[in-house]
Amino acid sequence: MTSTDKQPHLPPGFLVVDKPSGMSSMKAVAIVRRKAGGLKTGHAGTLDPLATGVLVLALGRATKSIDLVMSTSKRYRTVIDLTAFTTTDDREGTRSEVSVETPPGIEQIRSELGRFRGEVMQAPPSFSAMKVNGRRAYKLARSGKPPKLEPRKVMVHSIEIIRYEWPELELDLHVGKGFYVRSLARDLGGLLDTGGHCASIRRTAVGHFTLDGAVDPEELADPLPAGMLIDIDTALGLTGNG
Protein backbone atom coordinates (compact mmCIF):
# COMPACT_ATOMS: atom_id res chain seq x y z
CA MET A 1 0.00 0.00 0.00
CA THR A 2 1.44 3.37 -1.00
CA SER A 3 1.06 6.54 1.06
CA THR A 4 -1.51 7.87 -1.39
CA ASP A 5 -3.55 4.63 -1.00
CA LYS A 6 -3.39 4.69 2.79
CA GLN A 7 -6.60 6.69 3.22
CA PRO A 8 -8.23 6.91 -0.23
CA HIS A 9 -11.66 7.92 1.06
CA LEU A 10 -10.65 10.49 3.69
CA PRO A 11 -13.10 13.39 3.29
CA PRO A 12 -12.09 17.05 3.25
CA GLY A 13 -12.27 18.74 6.61
CA PHE A 14 -10.47 20.41 9.49
CA LEU A 15 -8.35 18.97 12.28
CA VAL A 16 -7.31 20.71 15.50
CA VAL A 17 -3.93 19.66 16.85
CA ASP A 18 -2.11 20.66 20.03
CA LYS A 19 1.31 21.57 18.67
CA PRO A 20 4.13 20.73 21.08
CA SER A 21 7.02 23.08 21.81
CA GLY A 22 10.00 22.65 19.49
CA MET A 23 7.93 21.58 16.48
CA SER A 24 7.41 23.98 13.59
CA SER A 25 3.92 24.48 12.20
CA MET A 26 5.06 23.09 8.84
CA LYS A 27 6.41 19.97 10.58
CA ALA A 28 2.97 19.43 12.11
CA VAL A 29 1.43 19.83 8.66
CA ALA A 30 3.87 17.28 7.20
CA ILE A 31 3.08 14.72 9.91
CA VAL A 32 -0.68 15.03 9.37
CA ARG A 33 -0.33 15.00 5.58
CA ARG A 34 1.60 11.73 5.78
CA LYS A 35 -0.99 10.16 8.10
CA ALA A 36 -3.74 11.42 5.77
CA GLY A 37 -2.24 9.47 2.88
CA GLY A 38 -0.75 12.51 1.16
CA LEU A 39 -3.99 14.51 1.13
CA LYS A 40 -3.32 18.23 0.60
CA THR A 41 -2.91 19.84 4.02
CA GLY A 42 -2.33 23.39 5.23
CA HIS A 43 -2.49 25.33 8.48
CA ALA A 44 -4.62 28.33 9.42
CA GLY A 45 -2.04 30.50 11.17
CA THR A 46 1.57 29.81 12.11
CA LEU A 47 2.65 29.04 15.66
CA ASP A 48 6.30 29.73 16.53
CA PRO A 49 8.36 26.58 17.23
CA LEU A 50 8.58 27.61 20.92
CA ALA A 51 4.81 28.08 21.19
CA THR A 52 2.32 25.32 21.93
CA GLY A 53 -1.39 24.88 21.51
CA VAL A 54 -4.15 25.17 18.96
CA LEU A 55 -3.10 24.74 15.34
CA VAL A 56 -6.02 24.36 12.94
CA LEU A 57 -5.23 22.22 9.90
CA ALA A 58 -7.28 22.04 6.71
CA LEU A 59 -7.27 18.89 4.57
CA GLY A 60 -8.30 18.44 0.97
CA ARG A 61 -10.88 20.87 -0.35
CA ALA A 62 -11.02 22.51 3.10
CA THR A 63 -7.72 24.26 2.29
CA LYS A 64 -9.74 26.70 0.15
CA SER A 65 -11.34 28.00 3.35
CA ILE A 66 -8.13 28.58 5.33
CA ASP A 67 -8.37 32.37 5.02
CA LEU A 68 -11.77 32.35 6.74
CA VAL A 69 -10.28 30.56 9.76
CA MET A 70 -7.18 32.75 9.78
CA SER A 71 -9.33 35.89 9.97
CA THR A 72 -10.80 34.87 13.35
CA SER A 73 -9.57 36.10 16.72
CA LYS A 74 -7.06 34.13 18.83
CA ARG A 75 -6.58 33.46 22.52
CA TYR A 76 -3.22 32.98 24.21
CA ARG A 77 -1.64 32.38 27.60
CA THR A 78 1.87 33.75 27.86
CA VAL A 79 4.50 34.08 30.57
CA ILE A 80 6.68 37.19 30.12
CA ASP A 81 10.15 37.40 31.66
CA LEU A 82 10.81 41.03 32.59
CA THR A 83 14.54 40.67 33.30
CA ALA A 84 15.87 40.78 29.72
CA PHE A 85 15.19 41.54 26.08
CA THR A 86 16.21 38.94 23.51
CA THR A 87 16.98 38.98 19.80
CA THR A 88 13.90 36.85 19.07
CA ASP A 89 11.62 38.34 21.75
CA ASP A 90 11.33 34.86 23.29
CA ARG A 91 13.62 32.63 25.34
CA GLU A 92 15.30 31.14 22.25
CA GLY A 93 17.19 34.35 21.42
CA THR A 94 20.35 35.92 22.80
CA ARG A 95 19.61 37.73 26.07
CA SER A 96 20.33 41.37 26.83
CA GLU A 97 19.99 41.67 30.60
CA VAL A 98 18.31 44.73 32.11
CA SER A 99 19.21 45.85 35.62
CA VAL A 100 16.04 46.70 37.54
CA GLU A 101 16.56 48.23 40.99
CA THR A 102 12.87 48.36 41.89
CA PRO A 103 10.54 45.91 40.13
CA PRO A 104 7.29 47.47 38.87
CA GLY A 105 4.19 46.99 40.98
CA ILE A 106 1.11 45.26 39.65
CA GLU A 107 -0.83 48.55 39.42
CA GLN A 108 1.88 50.06 37.21
CA ILE A 109 1.79 46.95 35.02
CA ARG A 110 -1.99 47.08 34.83
CA SER A 111 -1.83 50.75 33.83
CA GLU A 112 0.72 50.15 31.06
CA LEU A 113 -1.22 47.16 29.74
CA GLY A 114 -4.16 49.51 29.24
CA ARG A 115 -2.20 51.10 26.38
CA PHE A 116 -2.43 47.86 24.41
CA ARG A 117 -6.20 47.39 24.48
CA GLY A 118 -8.33 48.16 21.46
CA GLU A 119 -6.93 48.98 18.02
CA VAL A 120 -3.20 49.62 18.41
CA MET A 121 -0.10 49.90 16.25
CA GLN A 122 2.36 47.03 16.65
CA ALA A 123 5.70 46.31 14.98
CA PRO A 124 6.23 42.59 14.26
CA PRO A 125 9.34 40.88 15.69
CA SER A 126 12.46 40.88 13.50
CA PHE A 127 12.34 37.09 13.73
CA SER A 128 8.97 36.59 12.03
CA ALA A 129 7.56 35.28 8.77
CA MET A 130 6.82 38.79 7.48
CA LYS A 131 8.23 39.43 4.01
CA VAL A 132 10.73 42.22 3.36
CA ASN A 133 11.53 42.78 -0.31
CA GLY A 134 10.49 39.21 -1.03
CA ARG A 135 12.50 37.63 1.80
CA ARG A 136 11.27 36.35 5.14
CA ALA A 137 12.24 38.65 8.00
CA TYR A 138 13.61 35.78 10.09
CA LYS A 139 16.00 34.79 7.30
CA LEU A 140 17.38 38.33 7.18
CA ALA A 141 17.65 38.37 10.98
CA ARG A 142 19.52 35.07 11.00
CA SER A 143 22.00 36.46 8.48
CA GLY A 144 22.86 39.24 10.93
CA LYS A 145 20.73 41.90 9.22
CA PRO A 146 17.53 42.10 11.27
CA PRO A 147 15.00 44.24 9.37
CA LYS A 148 13.12 47.14 10.91
CA LEU A 149 9.49 46.23 10.41
CA GLU A 150 6.93 49.01 10.29
CA PRO A 151 4.11 49.03 12.85
CA ARG A 152 0.67 47.95 11.65
CA LYS A 153 -2.81 48.02 13.13
CA VAL A 154 -3.85 45.06 15.27
CA MET A 155 -6.83 44.50 17.53
CA VAL A 156 -6.60 43.56 21.21
CA HIS A 157 -9.97 42.57 22.64
CA SER A 158 -8.76 41.89 26.17
CA ILE A 159 -5.66 41.43 28.32
CA GLU A 160 -6.01 39.85 31.76
CA ILE A 161 -3.28 39.43 34.38
CA ILE A 162 -3.29 35.85 35.62
CA ARG A 163 -0.22 35.95 37.84
CA TYR A 164 2.60 38.35 38.70
CA GLU A 165 5.58 37.22 40.72
CA TRP A 166 8.65 39.21 39.76
CA PRO A 167 10.17 38.69 37.26
CA GLU A 168 7.37 36.65 35.65
CA LEU A 169 4.07 38.05 34.41
CA GLU A 170 1.42 35.65 33.13
CA LEU A 171 -1.27 37.04 30.84
CA ASP A 172 -4.42 35.81 29.11
CA LEU A 173 -4.91 37.49 25.73
CA HIS A 174 -7.80 37.73 23.27
CA VAL A 175 -6.51 39.32 20.08
CA GLY A 176 -7.23 39.77 16.40
CA LYS A 177 -5.48 38.56 13.27
CA GLY A 178 -1.81 39.50 12.89
CA PHE A 179 -1.10 40.14 16.58
CA TYR A 180 2.32 39.03 17.87
CA VAL A 181 2.51 38.00 21.52
CA ARG A 182 6.30 38.41 21.42
CA SER A 183 5.93 42.03 20.34
CA LEU A 184 3.69 42.70 23.34
CA ALA A 185 6.37 41.32 25.67
CA ARG A 186 9.03 43.49 24.05
CA ASP A 187 6.91 46.66 24.03
CA LEU A 188 5.66 46.21 27.59
CA GLY A 189 9.23 45.83 28.83
CA GLY A 190 10.11 49.09 27.10
CA LEU A 191 7.29 50.95 28.83
CA LEU A 192 8.17 49.50 32.24
CA ASP A 193 11.92 50.18 31.89
CA THR A 194 12.51 46.48 32.40
CA GLY A 195 13.31 43.71 30.00
CA GLY A 196 10.56 41.85 28.17
CA HIS A 197 10.45 38.54 26.30
CA CYS A 198 8.16 35.51 26.20
CA ALA A 199 9.25 32.59 28.35
CA SER A 200 6.28 30.61 27.03
CA ILE A 201 3.34 31.04 24.66
CA ARG A 202 0.31 28.77 24.46
CA ARG A 203 -2.52 29.37 21.98
CA THR A 204 -5.75 28.24 23.58
CA ALA A 205 -8.22 29.09 20.81
CA VAL A 206 -8.58 30.07 17.16
CA GLY A 207 -12.08 31.45 16.78
CA HIS A 208 -14.19 28.75 18.45
CA PHE A 209 -11.61 26.01 17.85
CA THR A 210 -10.16 25.19 21.28
CA LEU A 211 -7.86 22.69 22.96
CA ASP A 212 -10.84 20.43 23.70
CA GLY A 213 -10.11 17.27 21.73
CA ALA A 214 -6.89 18.65 20.23
CA VAL A 215 -4.19 15.98 19.86
CA ASP A 216 -0.42 16.03 19.56
CA PRO A 217 0.15 15.38 15.80
CA GLU A 218 2.69 12.66 16.56
CA GLU A 219 0.11 10.80 18.65
CA LEU A 220 -2.55 10.72 15.91
CA ALA A 221 -3.41 7.29 14.55
CA ASP A 222 -1.82 6.30 11.23
CA PRO A 223 -3.74 6.23 8.98
CA LEU A 224 -5.71 9.21 10.19
CA PRO A 225 -9.30 8.16 11.05
CA ALA A 226 -11.98 10.02 9.10
CA GLY A 227 -13.86 10.53 12.38
CA MET A 228 -11.11 12.88 13.58
CA LEU A 229 -12.00 15.48 10.96
CA ILE A 230 -14.52 18.29 11.39
CA ASP A 231 -16.54 18.61 8.19
CA ILE A 232 -16.29 21.88 6.32
CA ASP A 233 -19.81 23.17 7.02
CA THR A 234 -19.49 22.50 10.74
CA ALA A 235 -16.01 24.01 10.88
CA LEU A 236 -17.02 27.19 9.08
CA GLY A 237 -19.81 27.56 11.60
CA LEU A 238 -17.02 27.80 14.21
CA THR A 239 -15.28 30.76 12.62
CA GLY A 240 -16.93 33.45 14.69
CA ASN A 241 -14.88 35.99 16.60
CA GLY A 242 -15.20 33.95 19.82
Q: Which of 48, 89, 90, 187 is catalytic?
A: 48
How far apart are the C-alpha atoms of 21 and 127, rounded to whole Å?
Answer: 17
How far apart are the C-alpha atoms of 129 and 139, rounded to whole Å?
Answer: 9
Please, what is the angle between helix 181-192 and helix 106-113, to 10°? 120
How far apart are the C-alpha atoms of 103 and 82, rounded to whole Å?
Answer: 9
Instruction: Report angle CA 144, 43, 210 to the nearest 5 degrees.
Output: 110
Element (H, E) at 183: helix 181-192
How far apart are the C-alpha atoms of 144 and 123, rounded to whole Å?
Answer: 19
Please check whether residue 229 is in contact with residue 32, taking contact to mean a CB–CB distance below 8 angstroms: no
Is 48 a known active-site residue? yes
Please identify every residue annotated as catalytic.
Answer: 48
